[in-house]
Amino acid sequence: MSNALPRVTYANIGVDLTAVHDHLDSRIPEFKKKWLGRLWPNRISAATDEDGERYSVLSPIDRTTVIGTFIAASPAAVARATAAAQERFPSWSQTPWRDRVALLRRWAERMEAVKYDLAIASLLEIGKSRVEALGEADEVIDLVRYYCGEMERHNGYAQDLGRAFSHEETTSILRPLGVFGVIAPFNYPLALAVNMVTGAIITGNTVVFKPSAGCALSAHLLLQEIQAAGVPEGVVNLVAGGDETGRALVAQPQIAGIAFTGSHAAGMAIFRALTSGPVAKPVIAEMGGKNPAYVTAKADLDVAAQGVARSAFGLQGQKCSACSVVYVQREVRDEFVAKLARFAQQLKVGNPEQRDVYMGPLYTQEAAARFRDDVQVAARDGKVIFGGQLSNGGSKADGGSYYAQPTLIEVPAGHPLATEEQFLPLLALRTFDFLPDALGEGNAVRYGLSAGIYTTDQRELDLFLNRVEAGVVYANRASGATTGAWPGIQSFCGWKGSGVSHKGGLGPYYLPQFMREQSRTIMHPQA
């Protein structure tokens, strides 16, 4: 039944998903009964491990539903997980790359068979809407298959070089480094975890995987399927927990590199730690963004309003690529704001288990507090144009869940709310007269992840493409001004403070970052 249902991506707006929602109506209660409320020990090689403090995770939807009980791995447990990955590395790295690809294709097949369970886990752990969660579950399948195809396309990243002598053989080969620590964020517990884990293991590395503390159920479901696919025990080891577990992982001397997605501050701390020792170790990091959108007087304002709203308020603004500042040309400022307000008012806020909800809860109490504070700051220093309300804010009756309205504010140039990442459904408005000035202001931030423009003028589009400082750019996209990258279709690469290597996941330059080059020259006997 489920295989016959439509696939869901972040860009397929207007698709009839009635049958999908009907299927979810029955699957969500079944999932809760089967998976919620259990104890989930960490997984080190072939053994479960309970060394550490137990903690329970509550769903942000109501703060009463118990997702499960997990183990915040002790430093000793993290060390054992690293040792297990190191022990498995020689055999896994020497496994022919075609055999690794075959195993990972099998993993993709397994995930496809259980993708509704994966989606529901994401929905309940994070408070994602049904469509967002289903899109993420479909994305992980395409992620693995895309990287398998990249390994095949590049012949395992080995190629012949030129020869100085007829009897020599010269090749360049990329080889794995060792044990990678993978530290994943809360907002995409499936896609971002699978992206980094796949990048590491398909290239021959082994992994110690630390999901976000509240997303260990998704992580365990992914690990179950990778083991069922036949990937050997110890190739991927799972340790749950918060910042202390992450710091213990980064500090392991056997770690060969870290793949990280999260805040700029945390990413830079990891980068400094891994490059300050006697040997610099690679860090593959994506660290957020401000993600401006530009709306000119020559834009289709209906398309612009829809695209900006979807990117600003989808997943409650809790995306690294969320549009959190929009620059609108003065001539169309009022008309655009009116259209944006009308579209935003149609976005239902509530329990994301319901089929028509677009925005679920904010993930944490801290996020709710930041939302309240930022709205007050915006009202003091500028204007709250619409939204700004936080419902169910911490009352005991509703279990302390937090639901924020889509909110548009207006603040002066250079204001922190227009330059710093908020990770909230809070969109800052700036008005401009000349596009070059707007681009200069939008570029004058530490981030450079994504950006979008709405214009029907080719010269304006060319100006944007040539001057914008972002790794992912979109033009005239109704499904999302700055969001919606998909494996093999859009690379997801951060410039400036949004990344370290300036090469992104989902695209053709990601996998080589998990390897190092070796040049081989072999002299054969002359005939």
Among residues 125, 286, 410, 421, the one annotated as catalytic is 286
Q: What is the CA radius of gyration of the chain?
A: 23
**Does 286 participate in catalysis according to the annotation?**
yes
Q: Report residue 212 as tokens.
A: 């976000």
Query: What is the rounded distance in angstroms from the CA atom of residue 225 to the CA atom of residue 213?
Result: 20
**Contact predicate 253/278, CB 8 Å:** no
Phi, psi angles (nearest 5°) of residue 268: -70, -35
**Does 148 participate in catalysis according to the annotation?**
no
How is 336-379 classified by DSSP, letter by letter? HHHHHHHHHHTS-BS-TTSTT--B---S-HHHHHHHHHHHHHHH
Q: Report residue 12 as tokens.
A: 């397929």
**Contact predicate 288/498, CB 8 Å:** yes
Query: What is the rounded distance in angstroms from the CA atom of residue 277 to the CA atom of residue 256?
Result: 12
**Contact predicate 450/483, CB 8 Å:** yes
- Cα 302 from chain centroid (whole Å): 28
Taking phi over 0 as left and psi of -120 to 50 as alpha, with beta for the rest, 315 belongs to: left
Among residues 125, 139, 150, 320, the one annotated as catalytic is 320
Query: What is the rounded distance in angstroms from the CA atom of residue 181 to the CA atom of residue 267?
Result: 13
Residues 6+ apart with CB under 8 A from 123: 28, 129, 130, 133, 352, 353, 360
Q: Report residue 328 as tokens.
A: 């609108």
* CB atoms near residue 60 (< 10 Å): 30
Indicate the SS3 state at residue 404: strand
Q: Which ranges of 128-214 does DSSP label H, i.e. alpha helix?
A: 130-153, 191-202
Sort strands 403-404 and 325-329 into parallel, antiparallel or unpaired.
Answer: unpaired
Identify the bridge partners of residue 68 per DSSP, sorted by sequence position. Answer: 38, 57
Q: Report residue 470 as tokens.
A: 């972002």
Q: Report residue 329 as tokens.
A: 């040309």
Query: What is the rounded distance in angstroms from the CA atom of residue 236 to the CA atom of residue 209?
Result: 7
* CB atoms near residue 29 (< 10 Å): 12
**Contact predicate 429/418, CB 8 Å:** no
Query: What is the rounded distance in angstroms from the CA atom of residue 34 to the CA atom of residue 37?
Result: 9
**Contact predicate 77/44, CB 8 Å:** yes
- Give me the active site residues, please: 286, 320
